Copies of this chain bind each other. A is one copy, B any other.
Amino acid sequence: MPLSRRASGLAACLLTLPAFAADPLSPAALAEARALRERALADDTAYELTRSLTTEVGPRLAGSPGDARAVAWAMARLEALGFSNVRAEPVTVPRWVRGEARAEIVAPWPQPLVVAALGGSVGTPAGGIEAQVVPVASLDDLKAQPRERIAGRIVFFTNRMERSRDGSGYGKTVPARSSGAAEAASLGAVAMVMRPAGTSVSRTPHTGGQRYANGIPPIPAFALSNPDADLLEQQLASGQAVRVRVSNTSRWEGEAQSANVIGEIPGRGLADEVVLLGAHLDSWDLGTGALDDATGVGVVTAAAKLIRESQQRPKRTLRVVLYANEEFGLSGAKAYAAAHRDTSDRHVLGIESDLGAFQPYGLLARVAPDKLPLVRTIQSVLEPLGIAYLGSEADGGADVGQMRELGVPVMSLETDAAPYFDVHHTASDTFDKVDPALVRLNVAAFAVIAYLAAEAEGGFGRLPVAAETGK
Contact B288 A428 (CB under 8 A): no
A271 contacts the other chain (CB 8 A):
no
* Interface hits, A106-127 → B, CB 8 Å: 109, 111-112, 114
A227 contacts the other chain (CB 8 A):
yes
The smallest C-beta distance from A139 to any residue of chain B, in angstroms, reads 24
Q: Which residues of A contact B (CB under 8 A)?
A: 51, 54-59, 109, 111-112, 114, 200-204, 226-227, 230-231, 234-235, 238, 286-288, 423, 426-428, 430-433
Chain B residue nearest to A201 in the complex (CB): B432
Identical chains bound together, number: 2
Contact B59 A111 (CB under 8 A): yes
The smallest C-beta distance from A180 to any residue of chain B, in angstroms, reads 23
The smallest C-beta distance from A275 to any residue of chain B, in angstroms, reads 33
Selected from B201, B234, B433, the residue in CB contact (under 8 A) with A201 is B433
Contact B203 A428 (CB under 8 A): yes
Kindly list chain B residues whose C-beta atoms are within 8 Å of the C-beta of A57: 109
A-B contact pairs, 16 of them (CB 8 A): A58-B112, A201-B432, A202-B202, A202-B204, A203-B204, A203-B287, A203-B426, A203-B428, A204-B204, A226-B432, A227-B428, A227-B430, A227-B431, A227-B432, A230-B430, A234-B431
Contact A109 B204 (CB under 8 A): no
Contact B430 A231 (CB under 8 A): yes
Contact A432 B288 (CB under 8 A): no
Chain B residue nearest to A202 in the complex (CB): B202
Contact A432 B230 (CB under 8 A): yes
Contact B109 A56 (CB under 8 A): yes
The smallest C-beta distance from A64 to any residue of chain B, in angstroms, reads 11
Contact A59 B112 (CB under 8 A): yes
Contact B431 A230 (CB under 8 A): yes
Contact A234 B55 (CB under 8 A): yes
The smallest C-beta distance from A54 to any residue of chain B, in angstroms, reads 8
The smallest C-beta distance from A235 to any residue of chain B, in angstroms, reads 6
Contact B204 A288 (CB under 8 A): no
The answer for the CA separation of A286 and B54 in the assembled complex, in Å, is 27
The answer for the CA separation of A226 and B428 in the assembled complex, in Å, is 10
The answer for the CA separation of A230 and B287 in the assembled complex, in Å, is 13
The answer for the CA separation of A203 and B200 in the assembled complex, in Å, is 11
Chain B residue nearest to A57 in the complex (CB): B109
The smallest C-beta distance from A458 to any residue of chain B, in angstroms, reads 46
The answer for the CA separation of A111 and B65 in the assembled complex, in Å, is 11
The answer for the CA separation of A226 and B226 in the assembled complex, in Å, is 21
Kindly list chain B residues whose C-beta atoms are within 8 Å of the C-beta of A287: 203
Kindly list chain B residues whose C-beta atoms are within 8 Å of the C-beta of A111: 58-59, 288
The smallest C-beta distance from A106 to any residue of chain B, in angstroms, reads 13
The answer for the CA separation of A111 and B54 in the assembled complex, in Å, is 10
The smallest C-beta distance from A295 to any residue of chain B, in angstroms, reads 15
Contact B234 A203 (CB under 8 A): no
Contact A428 B109 (CB under 8 A): no
The answer for the CA separation of A234 and B204 in the assembled complex, in Å, is 23
Kindly list chain B residues whose C-beta atoms are within 8 Å of the C-beta of A286: 203
Kindly list chain B residues whose C-beta atoms are within 8 Å of the C-beta of A54: 231, 234
The answer for the CA separation of A427 and B51 in the assembled complex, in Å, is 27
- Which residue, A109, A112, A202, A204, has most C-beta atoms of chain B within 10 A? A202
Kindly list chain B residues whose C-beta atoms are within 8 Å of the C-beta of A200: 202
Chain B residue nearest to A109 in the complex (CB): B56
Contact A58 B430 (CB under 8 A): no
The smallest C-beta distance from A76 to any residue of chain B, in angstroms, reads 14
Chain B residue nearest to A431 in the complex (CB): B230
